[in-house]
Amino acid sequence: MVAKVRKGSRRGKVRQKSEPPGRSIGAAVNAAINLGFVVGREVLVGNVPGLVVGYNIASFGPFIGSAYPLVVRTVLGVTKCAIDEVRLA
């Protein structure tokens, strides 16, 4: 039995941007910092108060850093957030 030779991506599969993941994650983190979401800053995730504890630099998985650049600690636990999900307290 011979292994099947793969030629490119699967049909129907949408390619991500050609930009390297690290560059887009860095841009998202820098955008968050420029908006005032720095480590130690109090924020609101919806109506839940929290504190920015870091930045998400993950380049794979369901919560990649380019979409969810903030790591916020709330009374409900630590979560990764998009910029539009949080606001300054």
Does residue 77 lie in a domain region? yes
- What residue type is assigned to position 12 of the chain? G
Provide the H-helix boundaries in 1-89.
Answer: 21-34
The number of angstroms, rounded, from the C-alpha of 8 to the middle of its chain's C-alpha atoms is 27
Does residue 82 lie in a domain region? yes
* Domain of residue 48, residue span: 39-88
- Cα distance between residue 85 and residue 69, in whole Å: 11
pLDDT tens-place string over residues 28-51: 999 999 999 999 999 999 999 999
23: pLDDT confidence band, cut at 50, 70 and 90?
confident
Q: What is the CATH number of the domain that holds 52?
A: 2.30.30
Does residue 52 lie in a domain region? yes
pLDDT at 73: 98
- Cα distance between residue 24 and residue 87, in whole Å: 22
Number of domains in the chain: 1
- Cα distance between residue 25 and residue 80, in whole Å: 13
Q: Which residue has the higher pLDDT, 79 or 9?
A: 79
Does residue 1 lie in a domain region? no
The structure tokens listed for 82 are 């998009």
Does residue 74 lie in a domain region? yes
